[in-house]
Amino acid sequence: MATVQTKYLGDLRTESVHLQSGNKLITDAPTDNQGRGEAFSPTDLLATAFGACVLTIMGIAAKTHGFDIDGTEVETTKVMGTEPRRIVELITTFKFPHNNYSAKHKKILELTAKECPVFNSLHPDIKKTVSYCYPD
């Protein structure tokens, strides 16, 4: 069974439906590629999937090891290349809340990030720059 159904709405806009839940999302081409930039672009969704996947996998690991990462935020910057037009780098910063993370917890989180299915599905030529900010 299909996971997502996407329809082209015209004017460089699509609507996708997650078939299991019925949730919908719109994409627009970015302003630097003839679009309006009024919604996520398809490459924005790849960057979003990367950050969301890593946070989800970290959440599973934290739960398994008896701590939480509630309130953690991630910022992802995509860097586009040309010839062909593609993502050449994802710069990702994880910002953890005050939670007195031990050295063991930090190690678990940082190792877990590399187990994300999206992370491991990306072409190896895409540079992945990841940093972790833990408050003191």
pTM above 0.75, yes or no: yes
* Average pLDDT of span 28-38: 94
Q: Dump pLDDT digits (tens) for 76-130.
A: 999 999 999 999 999 999 999 998 999 999 999 999 999 999 999 999 999 999 9
Mean residue pLDDT across the chain: 96
Full set of structural domains in the chain with CATH:
4-33 (no CATH), 42-133 (3.30.300.20)
Residue 107 CB-half CA count within 13 A = 3
Task: State residue 136's pLDDT score.
Answer: 74
Query: What gap in Å lies between CA 77 and CA 90, rounded to an integer?
Result: 6
Task: State residue 74's pLDDT score.
Answer: 97
Residue with tokens 């159904």: 5
The one-character DSSP state at 90 is E
